[in-house]
Amino acid sequence: MRSVTLPSGKTVPCLGQGTWTMGEGPSARAREIAALRTGLDLGLTLIDTAEMYGEGLAEALVAEAIEGRRDEVFIVSKVYPHNASRRDVAAACERSLARLATDRIDLYLLHWRGSVPLAETVRGFEDLQHAGKIRHWGVSNLDLADMRELWSVPGGAQAATNQLLYNLERRGVEWDLLPWLRERGVPVMAYSPIEQGRLLRHRGLRAFAQRHGMTPAQAALAWLLRREDVIAIPKASSPERVKENAGAIAHRLDAAQLAELDALFAPPERAVPLEML
C-alpha cells in the first residue's frame, strides 16, 4: 500500500475507509463489520468516522470492527462545530473515545466551520494533544479563506489535513485550495470519492474503465490517487466492494488515461495542466 506523509512525518495509507451511515441499520451490521475488517486485511487501515454519523453509531461499529486490532488502525474522527469550543471539545472527544473503546484518536477533525472562533478550537485540540487523547488534529470543509485564517491563529499551521469533497466531478478545489495546501505540505483527504456511488453510473467512466481493464470505482479512485498528496476514503458496506475498491491501488493511470478522463469530466479550458498535479 502506498502511503501519504502527514506534516508530522507520520505516514498513513493513501486509501482508507469511510463509515458514513454505517451502524445505523441492525440488519447490515455484520456485513459492515466484515467489510471494515476486510479493508484492514487489505491495508486500508485508516478508518474515517465522526460523532455525527448516526450520532455515535458509526463510532461504536468501528470499535467492534477493530476489536483486538487497535494498533493496526489509524482512526480519524470529527467533532461537530457546535462542540468545538475549548471546553466542549474535551467532552466531545471523551464521548468519542468511549464509543470507539480506545484511549486515543489518531486524527481529530473539525467537521466543518461553525461559529466558534478557529483559535479557540485549536486551543482545545492542543489541550487534547497534550493530554495524549489525540495524536493529530485537522479540519474538514474549510475553504481557502478559512485556511488562511487558520494559518494566522496561534498553532493553526499544525493542521494535519483538510478533508474535502473531491472527485472526478468535483474538481473546484484544484484551482485554489489544493495548490495552497500542497505548498504547505498538507495532504488532502478526499471524501465522497465516488460521489456517493453516482459516478459509477457515468457512461463515459464506465466505458473508460472497461477499455482499461478496471471497474468504474477503481478508475475513480485511481484518478484521485494519481496525486501523492491525496488520501481517498471510499465507503463500502460489503467485503466484495471493499476488495474491488482496494484493487484501485494496482492501477497507476498514465498521462494518456488522465487526458481521457479530463476530456470526459473537465472542459479543455478548465482542465488542470498535468505539471500542476
The three grid cell numbers given for residue 15, joined into one nine-digit string: 486509501
Angle, vertex CA 44, rays to CA 42 and CA 47, nearest 5: 145
CB under 8 Å to 8, separation ≥6 — which residues?
Answer: 136, 160
191 is catalytic: no
DSSP letter string, 194-221: TGGGGGGG-HHHHHHHHHTTS-HHHHHH
Q: Cα separation of 206 and 215, whole Å?
A: 7
Q: Min. distance of Cβ 275 from ligand NDP in angstroms? A: 28
What are the two backbone dihedrals, phi and then psi, of residue 62, each rounded to the nearest 5 degrees?
-60, -45
Considering beta carbons, is residue 167 or 257 the nearer one to ligand NDP? 167
Considering beta carbons, is residue 14 or 233 the nearer one to ligand NDP? 233
Q: Min. distance of Cβ 250 from ligand NDP in angstroms? A: 14
Q: How far, in Å, are 185, 209, 217 from residue 45 at the CA level?
A: 22, 26, 19
The three grid cell numbers given for residue 264, joined into one nine-digit string: 470526459
- Contact residues: ligand NDP, CB under 6 A: 18-20, 48, 111, 140-141, 163, 191-197, 200, 217, 233-238, 241, 244-245
Instruction: Please identify which of the residues 53, 108, 166, 191 carries the catalytic annotation.
Output: 53
Q: Min. distance of Cβ 52 from ligand NDP in angstroms? A: 8
Q: Min. distance of Cβ 273 from ligand NDP in angstroms? A: 26
Q: Cα separation of 58 and 24, whole Å?
A: 7
Considering beta carbons, is residue 118 or 217 the nearer one to ligand NDP? 217
Q: Cα separation of 111 and 76, whole Å?
A: 11
The three grid cell numbers given for residue 246, joined into one nine-digit string: 482496494
Considering beta carbons, is residue 235 or 251 the nearer one to ligand NDP? 235
Considering beta carbons, is residue 53 or 253 the nearer one to ligand NDP? 53
Q: Are 137 and 159 in contact (CB under 8 A)?
A: yes
Q: Tell me which residue of 154, 152, 116, 121 sits closest to 138, measured CA to CA.
A: 121
- Strands laid side by side in the 105-110 sheet: 46-48, 74-79, 105-110, 134-140, 162-165, 188-191, 230-232
111 is in an annotated binding site: yes
Give the catalytic positions in this structure.
Answer: 53
Numbered residues of the known binding site:
111
